[in-house]
Structure 1
């Protein structure tokens, strides 16, 4: 089983001068430390307008910075918002490929939609169609990363003409694809589409095996890939705070995990927000907490090991720790990472290679079948020529003469409006 770190970039109010600067610099230092300690992944979200809960609105920038301070750790978009009002598919393909090149092929391409009104309304995304937007744009973005040129597309939610989308990623045909999953239903379509499942629901360790079994059963029997690469993997999130003294681990980590859950519910389920004014941290502090809630991942090295061994036995491929949450201190986070790497990580590292080998053997036939069902790449009998505006003007003028000036008024106005690639006034 592998291990990752999850970043929302949470920063509760009140905000002092330099707070966001410190937040990002601390996170970079944590990622650099995690790389040296042997962690396998970092996952960086994309969210917009979710004050205090997530200040990670430009994950491609943060991950690019991480790529230059690390050498081994995988750099996961967890996730890219795929509806085109957030990110045009061509821009996603360009950014993913560029990050893959500058990181020497370490990118993981997580995808998703978002479900918060703050984000959907902010970008004018119709919530009734967001799943279809995600599927359409994810499928076409994958084609852009491996087709030269991309044949173009006329779809329901976005269209573009034939273009060669460059650069191309180092990993071929493109980085491993994932999708955010918050329920068993979304886990099922991840399996059917051949995508890694980034399971952001807090699944009880003893329930994890049922999620894993269903995911892999569907992958083996029903997979119809959405992208040009299948990635049968399941990752699950967990709280995290590691200390030799259990009470210290709880004091350092539980409040942050609780705020993570509270902020999620606030923006997605039961909250109301006045942009720039609502103090989510104070709302959280005023809310009674359940003393019996799960503290999985928070405790001594032995307690955390026992929790993770249940996940490992269930067949979970990766556990992603939520350590940068709420008001958790940078120094405490680093100390937890170091202690975990010293006392817990080595045993799992030693067993992971065997797990991966057995899984690959078990899934070999299913993976081969799925690869044969990938979406077809459109073949172009002739690649269209794209003239610069001056050349287009010359051709249109020539055509005008040949047709005895029978061009429409709109066509004539267009000829007048372009000169040297610039649009000019007709006044």
Structure 2
């Protein structure tokens, strides 16, 4: 199993200095790079401080200049917000300046609030149609001159300038629903899955959907499957409590965005009152600690082995959860020093 880092520039309130956020994020990526993480992922979101990511290609170009080995993952671009020519060129330019380290992720978006501003009139539930039209168009533009007359985009002959350095850019599709697993397998794309705060059984459900999709296509699938989880590794009670407090605050804001149950003021979502969500896996402390990649190094190793057993190829260590920046670094260091060797040393022994 390979390890990957997903991290956002995030502020939970305006008391946090933006330059400190900038510096911290880069330090985390450099730590992951030095430790041999496979990919660093940057998201795309707009007008929200908890995920400051107006252009993932800018973020990844910046990271790539400082972290020289780690691959650079777009995790993920929202197809509905882009024109294919623009998207193909931005992605290819990142591949060029990073000497072929682009991992191109595409998806359907998450928050209706964001669609209401970026693509008014589009229901988030229908945005998968944009993704499924966009991806083959981008791939054609990377090859050369191409004319398109589709449902959402129309343009005369054009090409991507520049072209990617890689002959075959790795493509990732964000998938939870069966229809998206089917699409990813049909087109032999890698798959990113995020079970949110649901139990491990949710990952098992995704595995079943992947297996069903592979069976529909005669078993001919060579892509990788990666699963993302919020991660906090701790070795003392103070850090354990701080991690739990942080994730509950962040999830109260996430609940606002997902359910449109509060306002967003100057980019900061109101917090959904936790007492209205108690007992829900979204905020219940015991369930969160069980479901997420939270725990001591030994507990995290045990959890990761369960993902490895169901065929997860890559684990995305999701670092962004409103936790104190120093604690984020302590957590990542514990993961690097005490968790990763259990898996990387085994891989080396198997290779030998």
TM-score of Structure 1 vs Structure 2, range by shorter chain: 0.7 to 0.9
What is the match of residue 312 of structure 1? 308
Distance in 1, matches of 2:259 and 2:6, equals 22
Residue pair 1:9, 1:325 contacting (<8 A) in 2 also: no
Aligned pairs (5 A) from 1:157-172:
157-172=152-167
Paired residue for 1:80, among 77, 82, 88?
A: 77
- Give secondary structure in 1 for the equivalent of 2:37: coil
Q: Any stretches of 5+ residues in structure 2 without a counterpart?
A: none
Q: 1:212 to 1:112 in 2, by over 3 A?
A: same
Count of equivalent residues: 342
Q: 1:286 to 1:7 in 2, by over 3 A?
A: farther
Distance in 2, matches of 1:264 and 1:184, equals 24
What is the match of residue 286 of structure 2? 292
Alpha-carbon RMSD across the aligned residues, in angstroms, is 2.7
Distance in 2, matches of 1:274 and 1:90, equals 32
Q: Any stretches of 5+ residues in structure 1 without a counterpart?
A: 358-427
What is the match of residue 375 of structure 1? none
Q: Are positions 1:197 and 2:191 aligned together?
A: yes
What is the match of residue 98 of structure 1? 93
What do the CA deviations read for 1:13-44 (whole angstroms, capped 9, x no partner)? 2x03x722221221011101110012222111
What do the CA deviations read for 1:80-131 (whole angstroms, capped 9, x no partner)? 1112xx2111111111111111112111111012142222121235226422
Residue pair 1:242, 1:340 contacting (<8 A) in 2 also: yes
Q: Are positions 1:263 and 2:253 aligned together?
A: yes
What is the match of residue 270 of structure 2? 280
Distance in 2, matches of 1:144 and 1:223, equals 29
Aligned pairs (5 A) from 1:56-135:
56-83=53-80, 86-125=81-120, 126-127=122-123, 129-135=126-132
Paired residue for 2:235, among 221, 228, 244?
A: 244
Paired residue for 1:181, among 153, 159, 175?
A: 175
Distance in 1, matches of 2:37 and 2:61, equals 18
Shift, 1:344, TM fit: 1.4
Aligned pairs (5 A) from 1:191-230:
191-202=185-196, 203-222=198-217
What is the match of residue 376 of structure 1? none
Distance in 2, matches of 1:10 and 1:287, equals 23
Residue pair 1:37, 1:338 contacting (<8 A) in 2 also: no
Distance in 1, matches of 2:276 and 2:205, equals 36
Q: 1:89 to 1:22 in 2, by over 3 A?
A: same
Distance in 1, matches of 2:219 and 2:153, equals 22
Distance in 1, matches of 2:309 and 2:295, equals 20
- Give secondary structure in 1 for the equivalent of 2:137: helix
Q: Are positions 1:339 and 2:329 aligned together?
A: no
What is the match of residue 45 of structure 1? 43
Q: 1:303 to 1:29 in 2, by over 3 A?
A: same
Q: 1:261 to 1:282 in 2, by over 3 A?
A: closer
What is the match of residue 301 of structure 1? 297
Distance in 1, matches of 2:91 and 2:348, equals 27
What do the CA deviations read for 1:313-357 (whole angstroms, capped 9, x no partner)? 11111111222212x1222111221221111112212344799x9
Residue pair 1:111, 1:179 contacting (<8 A) in 2 also: yes
| TM-score normalized with structure 2 length | 0.87
Q: 1:115 to 1:239 in 2, by over 3 A?
A: closer
| TM-score normalized with structure 1 length | 0.73
Q: 1:93 to 1:313 in 2, by over 3 A?
A: same
Q: 1:322 to 1:207 in 2, by over 3 A?
A: same
What is the match of residue 27 of structure 2? 29
